[in-house]
Structure 1
C-alpha cells in the first residue's frame, strides 16, 4: 500500500501522525503544502471522497482572519478556491492511499488502525 501524508511539518497533528506511522512501521511519503502547494484536482478528489466540509479547516486562525465576504456562502467550489489560495485552510493531516482509494482527514488512531494496519 502506498501512503502519502499531506500537511505542514510543524503542525502538531501532522507530528502525531508521523510519529504514529513510524511507531507502527508504516512507510509513507510526505507532501508539504507550504513548499509544494496543493492542486485543484487533488482537492476535488478529496472533496469527493470525504466532503469539502470535512476538508475545510474553519477552526484555525487562517479562516478566522478571512474577511466576512470570503466566509459567506461557502459551497464546494468556493471552499476549494479558498483552500488553493490558503493551504492552511486544508485540515491536517490528509492521508491518501493507493492513488486516492482511501482518504483520511485529521488524526484518529482507531480509524487509522482499521484503515492502515
Structure 2
C-alpha cells in the first residue's frame, strides 16, 4: 500500500471516527496534527492537483474561522488556486478534515464508502 498521511484535529469527532476506521481496517498511516503542523501552501497546491477536486473542497466551511473571516464571500469573488492555498496555509482550522494524502490520491472529509474504495481497494 502507498504511504498514507492522515491529517487530523484530534479533538474533532469526525477525525476520531476516521482514525478508529483506519485502525479497525489495519491501514498503516502517519498521523499529522493539522493545527500544530499546518500544511504549507505548496503542499496544499500539490494535494489539490492530485485530488482532482476544486480547491473549495479543501476548506472547512463549517468552521468558526471560515465564517469569521467571511471566506465564502472571498471564494465567491474569485481567487486563484494559489491564493486559496495561501489562505488555507494560514491556519489548520481552515482546512477540511480529516484529510488523507496518499501517493496517488487525496481524500477530504470522512466518507466511509470512498475511504473503503480508495484505501482498501
Against the structure 1 CA distance between its residues 6 and 74, is the aligned structure 2 distance closer, same or farther, given a 3 Å change threshold? farther
Shift of 1:78: 2.8
Distance 1:93 1:12 in 2: 10
| Structure 2 unaligned regions, length at least 5 | none
Against the structure 1 CA distance between its residues 74 and 62, is the aligned structure 2 distance closer, same or farther, given a 3 Å change threshold? farther
Question: Could you tell me which residue of structure 1 aligns to residue 48 of structure 2?
Answer: 47
Question: Could you tell me which residue of structure 2 aligns to residue 89 of structure 1?
Answer: 94
Show structure 1 runs of 4+ deviating over 6 A: none
TM-score (norm 2): 0.84
**Structure 1 residues 58-69: aligned runs within 5 Å:** 58-66=61-69
Distance 2:46 2:82 in 1: 13
TM-score (norm 1): 0.87
Distance 1:74 1:25 in 2: 41
Bigger mean CA offset, 14-23 vs 33-42: 33-42
Against the structure 1 CA distance between its residues 74 and 30, is the aligned structure 2 distance closer, same or farther, given a 3 Å change threshold? farther
Question: Could you tell me which residue of structure 2 aligns to residue 26 of structure 1?
Answer: 27
Distance 2:26 2:82 in 1: 37
Distance 2:70 2:101 in 1: 31
User: Does the 8 Å CA contact 2:5/2:29 hold for their aligned counterparts?
Assistant: yes
CA RMSD of aligned residues (A): 1.7
* Structure 1 position 38 matched with structure 2 position 16: no
Shift of 1:67: 5.0
User: Does the 8 Å CA contact 1:95/1:103 hold for their aligned counterparts?
Assistant: yes
Shift of 1:6: 0.9
In structure 1, the residue corresponding to 2:110 is in which secondary structure? coil
